[in-house]
Amino acid sequence: MKQDIARLFLAQGIERVGVCALQDLPQLMECRAKSRMPSRAQSVIVCLLPYYPGEYPERNVARYALCDDYHPAALGLLERVCADLGQAFPGHAFVPFVDNSPIPEVRAAALAGLGRKGRHGMLIAPTYGCHVFIGSVVTDLALEPDRPVTESCGSCRACLDACPSGALSEQGFVKERCRSFLTQKRGGLEPWQEEEIRRGGMVWGCDVCLDACPCKGKTLSPLEEMRKNPLPILTRENLAQALAVKAYAYRGEKVLLRNLKLIEQGK
């Protein structure tokens, strides 16, 4: 059964698929998408969506957000897989989720054998490293779970040493200090938070911990959907156009203009 499932994902270009039992995820996350969970859900089919689009050293936007918004693209791929799964297994439910998901995706992917959780908190997968998005399909089929990956980063602390804001340390991850989080934060910022954005020079997101990771992976994404229209430098001039298609659009113009202004001050 799992081979048939993997074949249907592969038909959409998705090469890496694994399964974990829903009951092994101790807590689902509260979010609007939770209402889409199928009743009597039993298994989570987790998949990797590699996104590395190239280096773009001059970029002021995190690599994951350079190309057109991955959310509708990934959901589109998974919806097509779900339609095929519905035909192959009539009477069963298949519901796709990406990012805005009740599934703690990094944990689910590690449990499904797709890679290990790095010290930076992200999944590190063979070949693609941490440059992967994670998607999942929740189903009421009882599928045999794959073997979890429980390896750790050993003595490597490259991401901890590189994190410029102290968000990553031996003590764990402090979201409120993460530059990626700060560039997304709405409303007023404290002076130290503004300074982090100025120093980081990124209008959206942060890649410092990924770039420092020796297992980051630099294989160009085989998924055309993840490589559309890279826009490495966001400016006041191209902002309106970018807001029509990029992942950061959901945060709105105000937050992005604030970040652009802070970065101009830092130059």
- Amino acid, single-letter form, for residue 15: E
3-state secondary structure of 235: coil
Contacts of 241 (CB under 8 A, 6+ apart): none
Q: Which of 38, 54, 76, 104 binds ligand B12 (CB under 6 A)?
A: 104
- Count of residues in contact with ligand B12, rule CB under 6 A: 35
CB 53, min distance to ligand B12, A:
12
Neighbours of 142 (CB within 10 A): 11
Which 3-state string (H, E, C) describes 102-136?
A: CCCHHHHHHHCCCCEECCCCCEEECCCECCEEEEE
Q: How far is the CB of 65 from ligand B12 (least distance, A)?
A: 7
- Interface of this chain with ligand B12, residues 33 to 62, rule: CB under 6 A: 62
209 binds ligand B12 (CB under 6 A): yes
List 24, 69, 99, 211, catalytic entry: 99
Q: d(Cα 107, Cα 99) in Å, to the nearest integer?
A: 13
Count of C-beta atoms within a 10 Å radius of residue 154:
7
**Binding residues among 119-138 for ligand B12 as defined by CB under 6 A:** 120-123, 130, 132-134
Q: Which stretch binds ligand B12 (CB under 6 A): 77-85, 205-213, 215-223, 244-252?
A: 205-213
Residues 151-180 that bind ligand B12 (CB under 6 A): 173, 175, 178, 180
140 has catalytic annotation: no
- DSSP H or E stretch at residue 9: helix 2-10
- Nearest distance from C-beta of residue 90 to ligand B12, angstroms: 29
Residue 211 burial by Cβ neighbours in a 10 Å radius (0-12, 13-18, 19+): middle
Residues paired with residue 47 on neighbouring β-strands, in sequence order: 17, 135
- In the bound state with ligand B12, the residue whose beta carbon lies nearer, of 4 and 151, is 151
State the nearest-atom distance from the C-beta of 101 to ligand B12, in Å.
Answer: 4
Least distance in angstroms from the C-beta of 191 to ligand B12: 20
Q: Which is nearer to ligand B12, 33 or 88 (CB)?
A: 33
Q: Which of 64, 67, 119, 138 binds ligand B12 (CB under 6 A)?
A: 64
Residue 264 CB, shortest distance to ligand B12, in Å, is: 21
Strand locations in the chain (E)? 17-21, 43-50, 94-98, 116-117, 123-124, 132-139, 168-169, 172-173
Per CB under 6 A, the segment of 104-112, 138-146, 186-194, 253-261 that binds ligand B12 is: 104-112
| Residue matched to tokens 């941490």 | 130
Please report where in the chains the tokens 């889409």 appear, as a residue: 36
* Residues tagged active-site: 99
Residues interacting with ligand B12, by CB under 6 A? Answer: 29, 62, 64, 98-99, 101, 103-107, 110-111, 117, 120-123, 130, 132-134, 148, 150, 173, 175, 178, 180-181, 184, 205-207, 209-210
